[in-house]
Amino acid sequence: MLRAGAVSYLNTKPLVCQFDRIAPDVELSLEVPSRLATELAEGRLDVALIPSIEFFRAGNYTILPDVSIASYGPVMSVKLCSRVPFEEIETVALDEGSRTSIALMTILLDELFDVVPLTSPLPLDATLGESGTDAVLVIGDRAMNVLNDQYPYILDLGYEWSRWTGLPFVFAFWAVAPGVEVTPSQRQAFIEAKEFGRTQVPAIASEEAKRLGIDEIQCLYYLQHVIRHDFGPEEQQGLTRFYELACQHGLAPKGVPFVFQGQPTVAQGC
Report the pLDDT averaged over residues 227-250: 97
| pLDDT at position 192 over 70 | yes
| pLDDT at position 143 over 90 | no
All residues at 6 or more sequence positions from 259 whose CB lies less than 8 Å from its CB, including other chains: 62, 63, 266
For residue 170, give the 3-state DSSP assignment: strand
Do 154 and 215 fall within a single domain?
no
| pLDDT at position 126 over 70 | no
Residue 51: alpha-carbon gap to chain centroid: 5
Quote the pLDDT of residue 71.
97
Domains contained in the chain, number? 2
Do 128 and 185 fall within a single domain?
no
| pLDDT at position 151 over 70 | yes
Comparing 8 with 65, which gets the higher pLDDT? 65
Place 153 in a pLDDT band, splitting at 50, 70 and 90.
very high
Quote the pLDDT of residue 265.
59
Q: What is the CATH number of the domain that holds 190?
A: 3.40.190.10
Widest pairwise Cα distance in the chain: 52
**How many DSSP H helices and E strands does the chain contain?**
10, 13
Report the pLDDT averaged over residues 93-104: 85
**Boundary residue ending a domain (118, 139, 165):** 165
**Boundary residue ending a domain (142, 165, 188):** 165
| pLDDT at position 146 over 80 | no
Do 84 and 6 fall within a single domain?
no
Comparing 149 with 96, which gets the higher pLDDT? 96
Tens digit of each residue's pLDDT (9 = 90 or more) over 25-50: 999 999 876 688 889 999 999 999 99
Whole-number percent of the chain with pLDDT over 70:
92
> Which range marks the domain in which residue 83 is found?
78-165
| 130, amino acid identity | E
Do 159 and 84 fall within a single domain?
yes
Place 210 in a pLDDT band, splitting at 50, 70 and 90.
very high
Q: How far apart are the first and last CA of the chain?
A: 35
Question: Between β-strands 2-7 and 118-122, what pairing exists: parallel, antiparallel or unpaired?
Answer: unpaired
Q: What letter would DSSP give residue 247? A: H
**Boundary residue ending a domain (111, 144, 165):** 165
